Amino acid sequence: MAVEIGGGLTGYRTASGEVTIPLQGSTLEHMPAGAEPVQFTGRGKVLTYTIVGVPTTRFKSKAPYTLAVIELNEGARLLALVDGATPSIDARVRFTRKDEFGYHFELS
């Protein structure tokens, strides 16, 4: 399972080279046989983002919020929330925490 470790993220790399950073409760949460754990720095950049003003019921208390595709320095990509400021494309970000809403990053 992906967890916060020393400011970073963990996931796994399958034998075929695919990198996964699973959310708790997802079908990808358990590392398959032959996979290796990977620790990420938690730093990366924004590839694209959107401001969500009309959220699903689950995210109603968060609106408006920024949802972004983050590319970590190690090349893995994930969908995450960017807290505190509106990013720009290629803005540098760092992982801050994981909660029931997903992974959170902030501008660095």
| One pLDDT digit (tens) per residue for the chain, 108 residues | 343 444 468 889 999 988 888 877 777 778 889 999 999 999 999 999 999 999 999 999 999 999 999 999 988 999 999 999 999 999 999 999 988 899 999 999
Count Cβ atoms below 10 Å from residue 15 Cβ, excluding itself. Answer: 10
The beta strands (E) that lie in the chain are given as 9-13, 19-20, 36-40, 43-52, 65-72, 77-83, 92-99, 102-107
Answer yes or no: is 3 within a domain. Answer: no
Answer yes or no: is 2 within a domain. Answer: no
Answer yes or no: is 77 within a domain. Answer: yes
Q: Which residues have CB under 8 Å from 5's CB, separation 6+?
A: 39
Domain interval for residue 60: 9-107
**Six-digit token pair at 9?**
């993220």
Q: How many independent structural domains does the chain possess?
A: 1
CATH number at residue 37: 2.40.50.840
Answer yes or no: is 37 within a domain. Answer: yes
Answer yes or no: is 4 within a domain. Answer: no
- pTM given for the model: 0.83
Cα(65)–Cα(60) distance, integer angstroms: 10
